[in-house]
Structures are given as C-alpha cells and as structure tokens.
Amino acid sequence: MEKRYLKNLGITTSLLGFGTMRLPLTSDEKIDEPLAERMIDKAIASGVNYIDTAYPYHNGDSEPFVGKVLKKYERKSFYLATKLPQWYINSIEDAKRIFEEQLKRLDTEYIDFYLLHSMTGEVFDKMVLLGVVSYLEEMKAKGKIRYLGFSFHSSYEDFEKIITFRYWDFCQIQYNYIDTEEQAGERGYALTEKLEIPLVIMEPVKGGALATLSPDLEEQLKLLNPEATPSSYALRWVGSHPNVKVVLSGMSTMDQVDDNLNTFKNFKMLSNQERTMLEQLRDTLISRSGNGCTGCRYCLPCPSGVDIPMCFKMWNQYRMFQNYNVIKVNWEHMVNQESKPNACKECGRCETFCPQHISIRENLKKVQTELSNPQYL
C-alpha cells in the first residue's frame, strides 16, 4: 500500500483513504452492515489506515457504524476522521453538544483528523464569531482532537482567506483532473504547498463521473493500458501530486474496493504520456459542454424560481460525460421541481447580469428538452 509522510505531523498515512459516505445499502436504504464491514476489513487488511466519516452521512448512521467496526482494531493502528456539521451550529453550545455526541457515536476518546465541514468564507466567519474555532483548538490542546482542519467547497478567494487565518494541520478539498479551475483548484493546491499544509482529497473521481467515460474516450485510455480502469487513472492523477497525502474514495461495492486496492498497492506516478492523455481527455470533455456557465450566480434570483446555475451544471455534465446516470438523481429529484427550466417565463433579467453573456433563455430550453429526453442513457 502506497504511504505518504506528513512531515508537519510526523505521521504516515495510507494514500488511499476509505470514505464512508457511499456505503452499500439494503433494499430499505439502510447501510448493508455485513457487506460494508467486510469492505472496510479488506481495506484495512491491505494497508488502508485512514477512515473518513461525518455527522450527517447515511442519515447519521455512518458514525455509529464506523465506530462499531473499528472497535475491533487497536486504536493506534488507524486514523479516524470526522467533521463538525456547521449548518447545525448557531451557538457554541451547539458545537460542544455535537462534538461530545460524535465521541459517543464513534465510541472513542479522541478523533485523529477533525474538520470544520464544508467551509465558505461566510460560514467560517460565523464559526470564528461564535467561538467554535477557539473551542476546537481547546479540544486539540486537551487531546480530544489530534489534528484540526477543514473541508471546502467554495471559491478560491474564500479558500485563501480561510487557509491563511491560522496554521492548519491539514485541509480537505475537491480535486480531480477535470475540476482544476473549480473551487480551490490548482491555485489552492499550489498555496497548500507553499504553506506546507498537507492535503486530503475528496471527489477524485468526481462523484463517479470519471469512472465511466464515453466509449471513445475509454478506448483512448485502453491504448495505454487495456487492463487499467478509468477510475484508476483519475486516482493516480490526484496521487501524483506530492502534497496530496490521502485520496478519499467513497466505495460502494467490493469490486470498487478491489480496484482501488489494486491501484494503490501497485501505485505508479503518472508518466508524461499518461498525463498528456488525461489533459487531452479533459479538453475533450470540456469542449462537449453546452455553455460556459461558471456558476457565479449573478443571474440569480430568478423571478420565476429557476435554479439557472444548477440546471446548466447538470446539462454540462450530461453532455461532457455522455451519461445520463451522472445527473439522473439530481435532475429527477431536484428539491424544488419549480426550479427546472420549464418554469422560465423568459423575462430576460438573468441575461442582463450574466458576465459570460450566455443566451440563458435559449439554453434553458435546450436543457429541458435534452434532459427530459436523454440520448445518452
């Protein structure tokens, strides 16, 4: 198993981390505990020592399940990561109550890697103002937290603000060969290198989208190695960055565990030829997108309630990957069905604010037509 040394912490982690956000489910949508336990056991037996969970995963069932499975292992043999759900925090008392609850749910005296969950600039300001950051620093001083960090899903500007606020033990960002300009992106990665703050990576396979490419693109990868899977290339792209210390994979099947273990037990840095190939694939995927929406949200609020950026994000992903399953759940089960494109009254307000000068009204019609009658099933 490929290992990485975190110089600032003086520890070594497995490059592959087991994420427990997408554990296998039973027919009633509960965690398939026997199968999930076998998956975690196999990963640990193969050298994985970083296990990641969070307060809300699987409707709150992930932490108690993970705590139960890990109880049979020597506590110092693994690193346990979980996160403080900032959306439930409106007072310092909320933070204290949830943190103590997490220790009980996980049945542990301390948490190795503790994260402020899904930070933005505004949310981080709130956590500082409420005294949450100071409280977590106090918990670290008492030994209940070993390493303090944050996970992130916002703009680079917010990332720079948060990561330079204090010296963090680590941080967790979304990073893959498609999203190099999204969220923290390449600039964020470079900043962590400069600050010598190690990275844990989430969404290395972009929620599974990079595991199933269109046949023409997958064939290009097979020319390099007919035995390698698309997901293995995505994972190796991330792992080939030296400041990446853990690559999280939310595994749902034993086959995924086996494939990931094969990638990281025989880990190889990307060759120049492979890197060039992935850059070409990225360019092809991006060229297939429907428009250049950056998700800036200047078009909102829409008087008719249409979630324009979300609609365009799904449309672009559908076209890029030529796979309806990539967006199926979001498209068919959007929280507010009135936010779909067919609610548009074509007032044109959005187009006056769009910095990309996108023909939003015309594009929304295409979104509705193409995603309601998908060609790429």
The string of pLDDT tens digits covering residues 228-254 is 899 999 999 999 999 999 999 989 999
What's the pLDDT at 377?
60
Average the pLDDT over 38-64 and give the result: 95
Which pLDDT tens digit goes with each residue over 71-122?
Answer: 999 999 999 999 999 999 999 999 999 999 999 999 999 999 999 998 989 9
Mean pLDDT estimate for the chain? 92
- From CA 320, how far away is CA 333, in angstroms rounded? 21
The per-residue pLDDT for range 329-346, each reduced to its tens digit, is 888 876 567 788 989 999
Class of domain 3-279: alpha beta
For the stretch 201-211, pLDDT in tens is 998 988 777 88
113/169 Cα distance (integer angstroms): 9
Burial string for 98-119 (b: 16+ CB within 10 Å, else e) reads ebeebbebbebebbbbbbbbbb
Q: Whole-angstrom Cα distance, residue 375 to residue 377? A: 6
Instruction: For residue 115, give the nearest of 246, 264, 257 by alpha carbon.
Output: 246
Tell me: pLDDT of 296 over 80: no
Q: Considering the entire predicted model, what is its pTM?
A: 0.84
pLDDT of 224 over the 70 cut: yes
Residue where the block lists tokens 């307060």: 55
Backbone angles phi, psi at 299, to 5 degrees: -75, -10
Write out the DSSP string of 144-161. Answer: SEEEEEEEE-S-HHHHHH
**pLDDT confidence of residue 146:** 97
- Taking the C-alpha atoms of residue 297 and residue 71, their distance in angstroms, rounded to an integer, is 45
- The predicted pLDDT at position 304 comes to 92
pLDDT at residue 274, rounded to an integer? 93
Secondary structure (DSSP) of 200-258: EEE-TTGGGGGGS--HHHHHHHHHH-TT--HHHHHHHHHHTSTTEEEEEEE--SHHHHH
Check residue 61 and give its pLDDT. 93
How confident is the model at residue 335, as a pLDDT? Answer: 57
Structure tokens at 97: 């109550």
* Residue located via tokens 């970083």: 50
The residues spanned by each domain of the chain are 3-279, 308-372
Of 323 and 364, more confident: 364
**252 CB neighbour count, 10 Å cutoff:** 18
